[in-house]
Chains A and B, each alone.
Chain A
Amino acid sequence: MARTSDGSGGAHPAEAGPALELAWREHWGRLVGLLIGQTARPDVAEDAVADAFAAAARTWPTSGVPASPGAWLLTAARRRALDVLRSEAVRRRKQPLMVVDTELRERAAATTDPGSHLADERLRLVFTCCHPALAPEARVALTLRFVVGLDVADITALLLLQEPTAAARLTRAKKRLAAAGIPFVTPAPDRLDERLDVVAAVLYLVFTAGYQPGPRDRGLRVDLGDEAIRLARLLDEQLPGRPVVRSLLALMLLQHSRRDARLDSDGALVLLPEQDRGRWHGAEIEAGLAVLRDLGPASGLAEEYRLQALIAAEHATAPTAADTRWSVVAEHYAALEAHTGSPVVRLARAVAVAEAWGPAAGLVLLDGLDDALPHHHRPPAVRGELLLRLGRAEEAAHEFERALMLVRSDTERRHLEDRAAAAARAV
C-alpha cells in the first residue's frame, strides 16, 4: 500500500515496530467499532481491521510509518471491508456493485448513532460485546478480541483454555454477534444501569487476565490492566457517579499500582510481602484511595468491588509488609465472603486470618475448600504454607506435591517447587 501523500512525511521505517504497537493500542478497538457502525457487520469489520494491521506490518517497516497511522489504517480497513461486501454481493447476484457502494457510503455518511449519549466507539463496542444475549464466557472472549485486539493464542493463554476451545468459543460468539441481531449501540439511558454490571464484570476479567501468569510463560500483560482502567475511566466520564464503575475503578487503580513489583528481573512471581514497595505507583494509589473515600456501602457487584478495593487499600497504605493491618484485612474478607459466598474469597480470608491470628486459625478456614475448588492448586498450596509455619513439614510437603500436580502456570510452578523443597529440608 502507498505511503501517505499528505506531504508531512512519515516516521523512519525503523520506528515501525513501536509505532505499530502504539497504533494497535490506540486504534484497534476504535476502528473495529467504526467499521461495525458503517457496515453493520461485526465479522467483516474485525477481519478488515486485522487485514489492515497485517498490511501495516508488511509495509511500514520499508516505506515508513504514515503521519497519521489511524487514518491510514481506517482507509485500508474500509477498503478491505468494501471489497468483501462487494464480492459477497456479486456472489449472491443480489445487487449491482453500485448499489452496495452507495449504500455503504450513505451508511458511512449518516453513521446513525443512537448511542450518541456515549460518544466513544470503543465503549459502544464494549456494550455490544457484553450484550446479555451472549454467554458470559463469550462476552470476555469477544471483548478481548474486538475491543482489545488480542489474537486467539493470547486469548487462549489469558483465559486458561485449550486452544481449540478458545477458537471455537470465539468463532461461535462472532457468528452469534453477527447473526443474532445484537445491536452496535449503547443501551438506552433508562436501560443502561442494568447493563453496567455485565460490562464492569467483563472489564475486571480483562484486567485480571493480564495478571494471570499464562501457561505459555509469557509473564504478565500489564497493558491489559492499562486498557481495562482506560475503559473504566471512559465509562466513569460518560456515566458519572455509578457505584459499580467507581468501585471497580478504585479497585483496579489500587491493584495496578503494584504491577512493577510483581515479577522479579527473572520473571519470577514476587508475593506481596516480598515486593519492593518503592516500585509501587504512589500517584495511582492516591487516585484509587480518593475514589474509594467517596464510596459508601452499596449492594451487588458494586459492593463486591468496594470490599475488594478496601482490602487492596489496606495493602497499598501499609508502609511495610509487617505493618499490614491483617485483622482489618481479615474483617473485610469476612464481609466479602458473606456477600459473595465465594470459596476463592474464603481462601484469601484464610490467608489473612493466618496472618492476623496465626496459622492454626487460618488452617481451620481451609476445611472443605478442596471440594469447592477441585482442580485448583491454591487450596493445597496455602495449606502447605500454613502447615510449614506450624512446623508440620511432612504434611506440608505432601500438600505442596498435590499443588504441583494441579498448577498450570510455569511461574507459579517454580514458586511451588521452591516451597516444596523448603518443606522437604524442614522434615
Chain B
Amino acid sequence: MRFVVLMHGDEAVWRDASTQERAAIIDQHTAFAAQAPQRGCTLVGGEALTDVAVATMVRRHGDHLEVTEGPLAESVEQLGGFYVLEAPDVDAVTEALRELPEHYAFEIRPVLDLD
C-alpha cells in the first residue's frame, strides 16, 4: 500500500531554531529515512516545505486563472512537509514515525488507487 504522511506543525519551531537545533531536526529526518526499511517501509519521496506565507493559490474559472496569495493561515499548525511511503499497513508507517521530531502531528493518508 502507498501512503502519504502529511506533517503538520508550528512553523515557528523551524523558523526560530538555532543552527544546532536545525541540525538536530535534520538528523531525525535522516534517521527516519535510514530506519524506515527496517519497519517494512520503502521511502518513495518527500519534501520539506517553505512557510505557508510564501504559498500561492490558483483557482481556475474556465479560461481565467485566479491567482492569490495564500492560503490564509488561520491555525498555528501548517503543512510543513510530506513523505510518500510504500508500506504493508498503517501500523508499519506509524512505527516508522517514531524517528521524526515531536513537534509534528502526522496525518497518514492511503493513496487512492486509480488503476
Contacts and interface: CB of A to CB of B under 8 A. Distances in A.
B90 A182 contact: yes
Nearest to A184: B89
Contacts of B110: 179-181
A425 interface: no
Contact of A183 (B3, B91, B108, B115): B91
Interface in A118-136: 133
A64 interface: no
A94 B89 CA distance: 22
A181 B115 contact: no
A179 B113 CA distance: 10
B88 interface: yes
Contacts of A179: 110
Overall SS of chain B's interface: mixed
B115 A133 contact: no
Contacts of A91: none
Interface centre among A94, A133, A180, by most chain B C-beta atoms within 10 angstroms, is A180
Contacts of A182: 89-91
A187 B89 CA distance: 12
Interface in A174-190: 179-183, 185, 187
Given A180-B110, A181-B3, A181-B87, A94 B115 contact: yes
Contacts of B93: 181
A293 interface: no
B115 A92 contact: yes
Interface in A87-129: 92, 94
Contacts of A94: 115
A94 B113 CA distance: 12
Interface residues of A, number: 10
B1 interface: yes
A179 B110 CA distance: 7
A412 B1 CA distance: 50
A337 B3 CA distance: 43
- B interface residue count range (under 10 / 10 to 19 / 20 to 34 / 35 or more): 10 to 19
Contacts of A181: 1, 3, 87, 89-90, 93, 108, 110
Interface string A166-202: 0000000000000111110101000000000000000
Interface string A143-187: 000000000000000000000000000000000000111110101
A207 B115 CA distance: 43
Interface centre among A179, A183, A187, by most chain B C-beta atoms within 10 angstroms, is A183
Interface in B87-110: 87-93, 108, 110
A350 to B, nearest CB: 42
A187 B115 contact: no
Nearest to A180: B90
Nearest to B90: A181
A92 B114 CA distance: 10
Nearest to B91: A183
Contacts of A180: 90, 110
Contact of B90 (A92, A183, A187): A183
Contacts of B90: 133, 180-183
A42 B108 CA distance: 20
Nearest to A181: B90
B35 to A, nearest CB: 15
B1 to A, nearest CB: 5
Interface centre among B90, B93, B115, by most chain A C-beta atoms within 10 angstroms, is B90
Interface in B1-30: 1, 3
Contacts of A133: 90
Interface in B24-48: none
Contacts of B92: 183
25 contacts: A92-B115, A94-B115, A133-B90, A179-B110, A180-B90, A180-B110, A181-B1, A181-B3, A181-B87, A181-B89, A181-B90, A181-B93, A181-B108, A181-B110, A182-B89, A182-B90, A182-B91, A183-B88, A183-B89, A183-B90, A183-B91, A183-B92, A185-B89, A185-B91, A187-B91
Closest 6 CB pairs of A and B: A183-B89, A181-B90, A181-B89, A181-B110, A181-B1, A183-B91
Given A181-B90, A181-B108, 7 more contacts: A180-B90, A181-B3, A181-B87, A181-B93, A182-B89, A183-B91, A185-B89
